[in-house]
Structure 1
Amino acid sequence: MKIYHHIDEFKPLINAVVTIGTFDGVHQGHRQIIAGLKELARQTGGETVILTFFPHPRMIIHPEQQDLKLITTIQERATLLEQLGVDHLIITPFSRDFSNQTAEAYIRDILVNKIGTRKIIIGYDHRFGKDRQGGLADLQNAAPVYGFEVIEIPEQDIDHVAISSTRIRQALLKADIAQANAFLGYPFFLTGGVIRGNQIGRQLGYPTANLLIEESYKLIPADGIFAVTVQLGDEVFKGMAYIGHRPTINGMTRNIEVNIFDFNRDIYNQTLRMNFLHFVRHDVKFTSLEGLKEQLAQDKIDVLKLLENE
């Protein structure tokens, strides 16, 4: 897959088969749309193009809303789309100037002149242009003028996409990993660099890798203990992850840590991916470190049992 970080980097194609969207999570609903996009390209000898935007439009149009959390970072989204076999991904920087284009200019300058769109798969409720005034009808009216075809995504499919995105976020915030993963079609994951902690886990006999998630907009699941697998380069390990404020030691910051089983290496400053497979328990405050240590021993037993067949 070729990735373009600005529309100006893209050279128009002879036969571009296009869809547009945020594709946060690249979940089961999105995968249906992408499968249709690829099949249409196969039938017509075209190349698949996904046009997405970053930052997320809400971050620019409503900067006062700090509650927007996304299932995937833009880098993670690109990786997932590449795995699905998309030919071209255009990540267009979203700005107020970009949002102020008229619908006509958007169609003419972006879809036609910049991309070379011959077929576009789009939802009935997709909006674009200044004040979101452009929509499906504008595309359908422009299609014969510019020589492209509009394929509408059925309303029920769009509703499925919207519902599952919302449910994934809600599920993760409730630590319902099973539900989130069912909608995603793969395990939810966090990607980050390993940083130094205060070695409490090591003192308890459960040394942890502390994960730094640099993207403030990345959604972090609810606090608790999770059964995970950890990808470090081409290697995969089992482990138990912890998310929380470490109430037993009156911690002030929210930590993301993972105890990697049968592992004893210095991996500071390396990047790892943590795949969430099962929720084990909520975070609780213990009266002593000894009590916490005893619970961690039971947690490990529970996690190993959950990961037996992974």
Structure 2
Amino acid sequence: MKIYHNLSEFSKLDNAIVTIGTFDGVHFGHQKIINQLVQKAKADNGESVILTFFPHPRMIIDPENQDLKMINTINEKADILKNLGVDHLIITPFTRDFSNQLPEDYIKNTLVDNIGTKHIIIGYDHRFGKDRQGNLNDLKAAGLHYGFTVEEIMEQDIHDVAVSSTKIRQALLAGDVSLASDYLGYPFSIFGRVIKGDKIGRTIGFPTANIFVEETYKLIPGDGIYAVTVEINSAPSVESLATDQRQTSNPILQTYQGMAYIGQRPTINGMTRNIEVNIFDFNQEIYGQDIKMNFLKFLRHDVKFTGLEALTIQLQKDKEATLAFFETIA
């Protein structure tokens, strides 16, 4: 998949099969659209194109509202879309000027002149242009004029509830990562760098990796304890490789079970919100490395204990509950 960070980087195609949206979460409903996009492009000997926006339009239109957090970072979103088989991803900087385009100008300048759209697959509720005036009927009318066709995707349901990024965010903030995963079609994850903490976990037999998430707009689930898997890149030691192997050796992705903690550590009167993970059967130093945590199950809410001894007893119970959970999905 080719990635473009501005429309000016993109060369107009002869047969672009296009869909448009922020696609936060790339959830079950989004995947329906994207799979149809990829299949349509193959059937028509065209190329699949996703036009998305960064920052999220709501961050620009309503900058005073700092509460909106994203299910995916832009890099996470790109990785998911790549795995779905998309040919081209255009990440358009969303600005006030861009949002103030008239719908007809947006269609002509962006979809027709810049991309070369021949077919658009779009959600039933898609809106665009100044004050979100443009809609599906405007696209269909413009298609008759410019020679592209429009295909509507209807609302998709899971568990009789319409899937939406908003509902996924609500589930995650409530700690319901299982429901969020049902909506997404994959486990919600956090990607971050391991930084040094105060090492209190080591003193009670539960060492943790402290995770720093660089993207401040990334949504973090509600406080509590979670069963997770942890993906870590590791490679054979340099000493064990021949000289010619050292130039070609690639990191090997290893997956471990563990339990994650999100919260302010009330038992020790913590002042900041932490993201930590106790990785089972793992004793390597990974400071400075980037790791990925996949959230599978919520175990319990954050609680203030009477001291470290009571906390340790509870953590042992949490570990047993986590291991029991992994046995059920083995």
Common fold, TM-score beyond 0.5? yes
**Residue 146 of structure 1 aligns with which residue?**
146
**Residue 269 of structure 1 aligns with which residue?**
288
The 3-state SS of whatever aligns with 1:169 is: helix
**Residue 271 of structure 2 aligns with which residue?**
252
Equivalents in 2 of 1:186, 1:96: separation in Å? 33
Gaps in structure 1 of 5+ consecutive residues:
none
The 3-state SS of whatever aligns with 2:65 is: coil
Equivalents in 2 of 1:268, 1:177: separation in Å? 27
State whether residues 211 and 257 of structure 1, in contact with CA within 8 Å, keep that contact through their aligned partners in structure 2. yes
TM-score w.r.t. structure 2 length? 0.90
**Residue 287 of structure 1 aligns with which residue?**
306
Opposite residue 29 of structure 1, the aligned amino acid is G
Gaps in structure 2 of 5+ consecutive residues:
234-252
The alignment status of 1:58 with 2:76, answered yes or no, reads no
How many angstroms does 1:136 deviate by? 1.7
Aligned residues: 309
**Residue 318 of structure 2 aligns with which residue?**
299
Equivalents in 2 of 1:32, 1:240: separation in Å? 32
How many angstroms does 1:165 deviate by? 2.1
Q: How does 1:1-310 map to 2 (within 5 A)?
A: 1-154=1-154, 156-157=155-156, 163-233=163-233, 234-308=253-327, 309-310=329-330
Equivalents in 2 of 1:100, 1:37: separation in Å? 28
Worse-matched range after superposition: 186-195 or 30-39: 30-39
Equivalents in 2 of 1:210, 1:71: separation in Å? 20
Cα RMSD after superposing both structures: 1.6
How many angstroms does 1:298 deviate by? 1.3
The 3-state SS of whatever aligns with 1:140 is: helix
State whether residues 305 and 311 of structure 2, in contact with CA within 8 Å, keep that contact through their aligned partners in structure 1. yes
State whether residues 29 and 161 of structure 1, in contact with CA within 8 Å, keep that contact through their aligned partners in structure 2. no
Opposite residue 260 of structure 2, the aligned amino acid is A
How many angstroms does 1:161 deviate by? 9.4
Provide closer, same or farther for how the CA distance between residues 74 and 161 of structure 1 changes in structure 2, counting only shifts above 3 A.
farther
State whether residues 33 and 123 of structure 2, in contact with CA within 8 Å, keep that contact through their aligned partners in structure 1. no
State whether residues 123 and 158 of structure 1, in contact with CA within 8 Å, keep that contact through their aligned partners in structure 2. no
How many angstroms does 1:157 deviate by? 3.6
Query: Matched residues, percent identical?
Result: 63
State whether residues 163 and 183 of structure 2, in contact with CA within 8 Å, keep that contact through their aligned partners in structure 1. no
How many angstroms does 1:158 deviate by? 9.0
Equivalents in 2 of 1:260, 1:93: separation in Å? 38
Opposite residue 109 of structure 2, the aligned amino acid is D
Opposite residue 20 of structure 1, the aligned amino acid is I
Equivalents in 2 of 1:62, 1:174: separation in Å? 24
TM-score w.r.t. structure 1 length? 0.96
Provide closer, same or farther for how the CA distance between residues 127 and 185 of structure 1 changes in structure 2, counting only shifts above 3 A.
same
State whether residues 192 and 212 of structure 1, in contact with CA within 8 Å, keep that contact through their aligned partners in structure 2. yes
Provide closer, same or farther for how the CA distance between residues 123 and 164 of structure 1 changes in structure 2, counting only shifts above 3 A.
closer
The 3-state SS of whatever aligns with 2:120 is: strand
How many angstroms does 1:273 deviate by? 0.3
How many angstroms does 1:113 deviate by? 1.0
CA offsets 1:190-233 (integer angstroms, 9 cap, x no match): 00011111111111111110001111111111111111100012
State whether residues 17 and 47 of structure 2, in contact with CA within 8 Å, keep that contact through their aligned partners in structure 1. yes
Equivalents in 1 of 2:78, 2:254: separation in Å? 21
The 3-state SS of whatever aligns with 2:164 is: helix
Equivalents in 2 of 1:158, 1:183: separation in Å? 9
Opposite residue 206 of structure 2, the aligned amino acid is Y
How many angstroms does 1:162 deviate by? 6.0
Equivalents in 1 of 2:152, 2:289: separation in Å? 44
State whether residues 156 and 163 of structure 2, in contact with CA within 8 Å, keep that contact through their aligned partners in structure 1. no
The 3-state SS of whatever aligns with 1:307 is: helix
CA offsets 1:90-121 (integer angstroms, 9 cap, x no match): 00000011111121211111101111100001
